């Protein structure tokens, strides 16, 4: 991947930066499509997606600048190698989260995402990562659902299970 001039590496970094930038722009555009009733609440459902979009756009711009003019990444002739295995594992975590969050809910999806991203960063303690991911998922679920009154998905599987258990109880 890396050429002696580092050009191939810089193009790969630039492609990654453009992908992050495009994702940020996509999130910002999709957030403009959120229609909510007018209220006096200081925090609406569009605030956090806008914060995420701004963060992605800033990271994309910074990564793009670093790809072509950065001093840290290209301090020596060899530059640095992108850890494609870590990128694939973290991307897999995001994909799995997107696929299971509606059915299995925020808690399960976020716990799995945390464990996969921790694995991408080199952690080999699966049970500890799952436990920490569950704690963070519980905290964010509580803050969003009870503190901000913004509903994170419980999961259709769990909702159906609770409904069937409630239907089986004698009246």
Write out the two tokens for 46.
């569009």
pLDDT value at position 81? 66
- Taking CA atoms, 171 is separated from 143, 166, 167, 168, in Å, by 34, 10, 9, 9
Neighbours of 158 (CB within 10 A): 15
Produce one character per residue of 22-47: b if its CB has 16 or more CB atoms within 10 Å, e if not: ebbeebbeebeeeeeeeeeeeeebbe
| pLDDT tens digits, one per residue of 97-151 | 999 999 999 999 999 999 999 999 999 999 999 999 999 999 999 998 888 888 8
Buried b (16+ CB within 10 A) or exposed e, 56-91: bbeebeebbebbeebeebbeeeebeeeeeeeeebbe
Chain-wide mean pLDDT for the chain? 85
pLDDT at 73: 54
- 13 with 63: CB under 8 angstroms? yes
Nearest-CA neighbor of 31 among 41, 17, 42, 45? 45
Give residue-wise pLDDT tens across range 65-105. Answer: 888 887 655 555 555 567 889 989 999 999 999 999 999 99
Cα–Cα dist 74/80, whole Å: 7
Check: pTM over 0.75? Answer yes or no. Answer: no
């Amino acid at each position: 991947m890396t050429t002696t001039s580092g050009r191939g590496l810089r193009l790969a970094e630039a492609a990654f930066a453009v992908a992050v930038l495009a994702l940020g722009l996509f999130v910002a555009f999709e957030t403009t499509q959120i229609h909510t009733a007018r209220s006096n609440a200081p925090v609406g459902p569009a605030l956090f997606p806008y914060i995420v979009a701004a963060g992605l756009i800033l990271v994309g711009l910074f990564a793009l600048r670093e790809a072509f003019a950065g001093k840290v990444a290209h301090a020596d002739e060899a530059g640095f190698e992108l850890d494609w295995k870590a990128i694939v594992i973290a991307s897999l975590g995001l994909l799995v989260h997107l696929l299971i969050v509606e059915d299995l809910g925020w808690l399960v999806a976020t716990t799995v995402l945390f464990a996969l991203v921790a694995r991408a960063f080199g952690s080999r303690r699966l049970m500890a990562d799952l436990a920490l991911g569950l704690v963070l998922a519980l905290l964010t679920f509580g803050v969003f659902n009870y503190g901000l009154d913004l509903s994170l998905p419980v999961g259709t599987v769990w909702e159906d299970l609770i409904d069937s258990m409630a239907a089986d109880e004698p009246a």
